[in-house]
Amino acid sequence: MRRDIFQAIADPTRRGIIALIALQAMTPNAIAEHFDTSRQAVSKHLRILTECELIKQEHKGREIYYQLELDKMKEIDNWLDQFRKIWETRFNQLDNLLATIKK
């Protein structure tokens, strides 16, 4: 089953994992230490994020490191950008209205 990136980021644990590995690549054990859940549950979250191509695995010796896939994050940012423009327009309109009221 193909998963949707927006379903993947809807889960707070997966957003937490993304935030962790945005700073540096980490092993599954290092990631699991930051959550009050089982290692198995963290592995499931990592699998979902990998299936959605939000993160990727890199093998270094015996260890697997997970790192953020920036191109997929840009896809999310591009989708959000349309709403960012709407918000900015509305804030500018509010600023104008407040300036008018102040006069």
pLDDT score of 58: 95
**Residue 15: CA atoms inside 13 Å, Cβ hemisphere, count?**
7
Q: What is the pLDDT confidence band of residue 46, given thresholds at 50, 70 and 90?
A: very high
Among 20, 75, 74, CA closest to 45:
20
Map out the domains of the chain with their CATH numbers: 5-102 (1.10.10.10)
Query: What is the average pLDDT across 8-37?
Result: 95
Tell me what pLDDT residue 4 has.
84
Model-level pTM?
Answer: 0.78
The pLDDT-based confidence of 2 (bands split at 50, 70, 90) is: low
Q: How far, in Å, CA of 38 to CA of 53, rounded? A: 23
Give 96's contacts (C-beta < 8 A, 6+ positions apart).
Answer: none
Which tens digit of pLDDT belongs to each residue from 48-83? 999 999 999 999 999 999 999 988 888 889 989 989
Q: Could you tell me what percentage of the chain is helix, strand and coil, using 3-state DSSP and rounding each to the nearest 5?
A: 65, 15, 20
C-alpha dihedral sign at 32, 38, 42, 47? positive
For residue 42, pLDDT over 60 is answered with: yes
φ, ψ of residue 64 in degrees (nearest 5): -110, 130
Place of tokens 């959605």: 52
- What is the average pLDDT score of the chain? 92
CA 97 to chain centre: 35
pLDDT exceeding 70 applies to what percent of the chain? 98
pLDDT at 21: 96
